[in-house]
């Protein structure tokens, strides 16, 4: 048994001052106050007298890091990415594809499925764990494709989705799709039936089409404002639906580059504490010096914190801990509220909130240890302390 004490615990719904958290077999078995509970005899102790204990972060949208891409066929790729993620407080993540030739995507999905299924039976103390695949493309708008290659975009058909689904062995958990495409409505309904989270993104959809997608099962929006029809006061388009419909959660890239800080604050006021989610959209360049790096089958240029391809933003080098601190800075939110956007909310969106995103009895023992300003001091995954 592991006994962790800290200055404060942010759950993030509740706060406990002077907490004592007991962990056994990778799960939280008790949360109490040090004043009311003594450390059980023989327990391993971890005392963090000046630190904040919070749930480890969850990233719904990440392409890579530490010079590796989630889609590449290299045995060193995912371990390197997962190690970097854990260094920045992330305990769980959804490896995200980028539009590529179909055969390359199918191969990548098979490898990612292997990693997800293997991870269920293994416990590592210093690496984030993949929970499922986020399929970003190939069912995207040509007009709002961003840097996704035009030649590899495909119309949304049930046959193509079935090939992707079979390659991933059912491990596709999130699907970004442009709802205005012919065939999208049928695919949204079928993928929703299979338990996939439908996220609206890379889209030029109007308001009516967006609302129809929600009626069919869409429940989330991908990197809101980016790669979307701009908001108009007479023709609000998809953003009118995303920002006003409480059935939709939505995520943002809060790096100060993809969105002006004032827009981050506006987004948070519109979607509120429950429906706002932070993502990184991080690429292989994350944690690396300026230079040229891979994004799927593409090559991007990174300089001064920006990832570019032909002058267009191409992912980010953002880390989740910095995204949390940016919310505190841009919107004036306190640490506890900001943490929710990287913990409980993404866990709820992805359907893992029974075991992830919150510190409670029965939850996975995935913790991030922070100072009062939100800087990561340590990450504990599966209750294993190095």
The angle, 0 to 180 degrees and rounded to 10, between the axes of the packed helices 261-275 and 237-244 is 50
Distance from C-alpha of 171 to C-alpha of 164, rounded to nearest angstrom: 10
Q: Are 355 and 344 in contact (CB under 8 A)?
A: no
Q: Are 162 and 201 in contact (CB under 8 A)?
A: no
User: Active-site residue 281, yes or no?
Assistant: yes
> Read out DSSP for 350-373?
HT-TTTSSS--TTSB--EEEE-TT
User: Rounded to 5 degrees, what angle do the CA atoms 277, 283, 285 make?
Assistant: 130
Q: Give backbone dihedrals phi and psi of 219, rounded to 5 degrees, phi first.
A: -135, 5
Q: Are 61 and 279 in contact (CB under 8 A)?
A: yes
The catalytically annotated residue of 281, 321, 364, 366 is: 281
Distance from C-alpha of 311 to C-alpha of 269, rounded to nearest angstrom: 31
> Read out DSSP for 192-248?
HHTTPEEEE-SB---HHHHHHHHHHT--EESSTTTTBPPP-SS--HHHHHHHH-TT-
Structure tokens at 23: 């962990």
Distance from C-alpha of 20 to C-alpha of 38, rounded to nearest angstrom: 8
Q: Give backbone dihedrals phi and psi of 5, rounded to 5 degrees, phi first.
A: -115, 150
Q: Are 263 and 271 in contact (CB under 8 A)?
A: no
Distance from C-alpha of 90 to C-alpha of 212, rounded to nearest angstrom: 34
CB-based contacts of 265-268 (< 8 A; 24+ apart in sequence): 265/330, 265/331, 265/332, 267/224, 267/225, 267/243, 268/327, 268/331, 268/333
Residue (of 205, 227, 224, 225) closest to 216 by Cα position: 205
Residues with a catalytic annotation lie at 281
């Amino acid at each position: 048994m592991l006994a962790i004490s800290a200055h404060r615990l942010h759950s993030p719904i509740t706060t406990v001052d002077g907490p004592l958290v007991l962990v056994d077999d990778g799960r939280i078995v008790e949360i109490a106050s040090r004043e009311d509970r003594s450390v059980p005899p023989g327990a391993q102790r971890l005392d963090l007298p000046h630190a904040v204990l919070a749930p480890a972060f969850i990233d719904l949208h990440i392409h890579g890091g530490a010079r590796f891409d989630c889609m590449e066929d290299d045995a060193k790729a995912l371990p390197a990415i997962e190690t970097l993620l854990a260094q920045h407080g992330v305990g769980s993540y959804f490896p995200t594809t980028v539009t590529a030739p179909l055969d390359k995507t199918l191969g990548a999905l098979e490898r990612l499925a292997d990693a997800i299924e293997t991870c269920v039976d293994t416990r590592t103390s210093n690496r984030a764990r993949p929970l499922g695949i986020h399929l970003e493309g190939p069912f995207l708008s040509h007009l709002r494709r961003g840097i996704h290659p035009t030649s590899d975009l495909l119309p949304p058909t049930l046959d193509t989705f079935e090939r992707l689904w079979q390659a991933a062995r059912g491990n596709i958990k999130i699907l970004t799709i442009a709802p205005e495409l012919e065939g999208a409505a049928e695919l949204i309904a079928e993928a929703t039936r299979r338990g996939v989270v439908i996220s609206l993104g890379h889209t030029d959809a109007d308001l009516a089409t967006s609302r129809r997608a929600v009626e069919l099962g869409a429940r989330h929006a991908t990197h809101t404002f980016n790669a979307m029809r701009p908001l108009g006061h007479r023709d609000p388009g998809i953003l009118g639906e995303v920002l006003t419909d409480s059935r939709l959660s939505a995520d943002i890239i809060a790096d100060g580059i993809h969105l002006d800080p004032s827009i981050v604050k506006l987004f948070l006021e519109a979607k509120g504490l429950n429906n706002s989610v932070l993502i990184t959209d991080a690429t292989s360049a994350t944690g690396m010096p300026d230079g040229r790096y891979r994004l799927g089958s593409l090559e991007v240029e990174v300089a001064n914190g920006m990832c570019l391809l032909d002058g267009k933003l191409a992912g980010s080098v953002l880390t989740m801990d910095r995204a949390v601190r940016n919310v505190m800075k841009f919107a004036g939110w306190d640490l506890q509220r900001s943490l929710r956007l990287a913990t409980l909310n993404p866990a709820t969106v992805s359907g893992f909130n029974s075991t992830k995103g919150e510190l409670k009895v029965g939850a996975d023992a995935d913790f991030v240890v922070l100072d009062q300003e939100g800087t990561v001091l340590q990450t504990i995954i599966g209750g294993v302390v190095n």
